[in-house]
Structure 1
């Protein structure tokens, strides 16, 4: 995993601030591969509850992470009970929960 412990802590804290304590934060994509360089930070957030104002919260989280981590590309997928799983199958199958 190509995130420092400090980056992981920042991501988890910001996710809880925006989405609440019940959110699970996972990483997927190229940042899981230690042999690759670069790439955006692909995050999958899972919530047991339906998330209201999903887009507003995604944008808020993206902005907070860019301020705290520096201006870098961040992609966020949010999955809750109302989300169809099919478009997110790859992310759901490969994502790793942040420690």
Structure 2
């Protein structure tokens, strides 16, 4: 979270936009995904854009918190889960972009 906060501060300083937020999300854990989505949906009215750009590659064999192979769990199930939770909400989203 510290690296994210540092980057957010740099973006705020560069752009003058104070509404740059950092939130914790672990795509290898559906509990984390649900907590992220619920927190976001409780605090925000609009989801302007969602870019699913996180992923793993060439990682040693391991499993997600839910028992799926890490690559499949993070790159596919995690991204799909966060997108579906955002789309099924009452948040007014005008654009959803997926970049994997």
Do they fold alike, i.e. is TM over 0.5?
A: no
Structure whose residues are more often strand by fraction:
1
TM-score when normalising by structure 2 = 0.32
* Greater C-alpha radius of gyration: 2
